[in-house]
Structure 1
């Protein structure tokens, strides 16, 4: 009998009472409109921005004419992952290609999904420090793209410095047709997998610039 595959959840839970949202983002609500006691069934309404919680940025988030969520091929969002250890980075510290990412360059190839592991989820829904995260030097976007990588995930809310105008990393990466996955978690649990496989399928929202994702990972070498 084949051994059951263990899946690791890389997504933050969506809980209105336990969530990190930048001040310009719409609030997340999940409200009951029917209950089993009163209506014989349960139903809720959900209100949220397309970039709430663990989510994917589609190219059209910043690029006119770029792919929307429903136009991204699913196979782009499924594959082996390369986890980059950046847990030594401090608040608002710059992540650079030369010092931090280039040691992993030989492992960056087309089809590989690169995941930036900073350990920042420890501040999720607990401290405003969550938005003082390390951020990525914009030229690194070009270096990653030049190696054929089209999906970059991270356990921080943005590769750009939150609250600063321009979003240069977004502009470069999404402008080249790449996708960004933000607010991930549990990347520390992927260290022993060689390599971890990840699946990042978003909700299929037509013409949307972003969508929530239930990101999962597993150890392909451990499956039968």
Structure 2
């Protein structure tokens, strides 16, 4: 079975959404001195490759532990929309030809290629998804969407408005951000797992996202 890791490694000083808690991963006990090794992790709920629950932007929305895990494992469609300019908007007409016949799919992932800039200032100038994309996917029965960017909405100069988040999360959808390695998923209908840490009552959580070529075995 082929497995592709779609997750950004979590490490001290890694890039986060502007204003989010800094990430520190520190060894606090070692085998030499203590007989075992333990690390201390300080990070925000939206660190690295992570899941946005409705609570993230919808008052009273569902939290991470409210999400049915069956929604987060299943066949996916990866939409190719590379060669985009910084901050370019991905419209529905520009991707509609790749989003026909979504029957039987659990989620849709958008591959812009922007993950190659993770850790650089340019990563903040990523392409974004038009709100119509959210509405169209929801109408087609897709309520889990992923992006290989920091945000499906603008990260810089957004004036506090996140229209894709508002549309998708208000409908009970789930957003996965900071995916990577989507280019390595070269087969159709990968089985994708984006299971989050079980953070009770949380608005988001890191996930270990993977794509599987299950060959009918799942």
- Correspondence for 2:163 among 168, 171, 189: 168
Pair 1:49-2:44 in alignment: yes
Aligned to 1:203: 197
Paired residue for 2:85? Answer: 90
Deviations 1:195-222 (A, max 9, x none): 1110110001100000000001111227
CA drift of 1:223 comes to: 5.3
1:16 to 5, 12, 27: 12
Partner of 1:178: 173
Which residue in the other structure is 1:150 paired with?
143
Q: Structure 2: where are the runs of 5+ without partners?
A: none
Rounded to whole Å, the distance in 1 between the matches of 2:207 and 2:56 is 16
**Equivalent residues of 1:109, 1:149 under 8 A apart:** no
Is this contact kept in 2: 1:58–1:210, CA < 8 A? yes
d(CA) in 1 for partners of 2:87, 2:195: 30
Return the alpha-carbon distance in structure 2 between the equivalents of residues 194 and 84 of structure 1. Answer: 11
Contact preservation (8 Å) 2:78, 2:110: yes
CA separation in 2, counterparts of 1:38 and 1:31? 15
Q: Distance in 2 between matches of 1:83 and 1:6?
A: 16
Describe the superposition over 1:93-146 as per-residue Cα deviations: whole angstroms up to 9, x where unpaired.
111011x22112313246431000001111112x20001000011122111111
> Could you say what secondary structure the match of 2:215 adopts?
helix
The 1-side partners of 2:3 and 2:49 are apart by: 17
Partner deviation per Cα, 1:1-40 (whole Å, 9 max, x = no partner): xxxx2211000001214x2223311100111221112111
Match of 2:70 among 59, 68, 75: 75
For residues 22 and 72 of structure 1, the distance between their equivalents in structure 2, rounded to whole angstroms, comes to 23
Find the residue that maps to 1:7 and give its secondary structure. Answer: strand
**How far 1:186 sits from its partner (Å)?**
0.6
CA distance in 1, matches of 2:132, 2:189: 26
Match of 1:211, SS state, is: strand
**TM-score scaled by structure 1?**
0.92
**How far, CA to CA, are the matches of 2:45 and 2:53 in structure 1?**
10
- Output one character per residue of 1:57-108: Cα deviation in whole Å (capped at 9) or x when no partner: 001111122211111011100110100001121211111011x221123132
How many residue pairs get matched?
216
SS of equivalent residue, structure 1 residue 32: strand
For 1:92, what is the secondary structure of its paired residue? coil
Structure 1 residue ranges (4+ consecutive) displaced by more than 6 angstroms after TM superposition = none
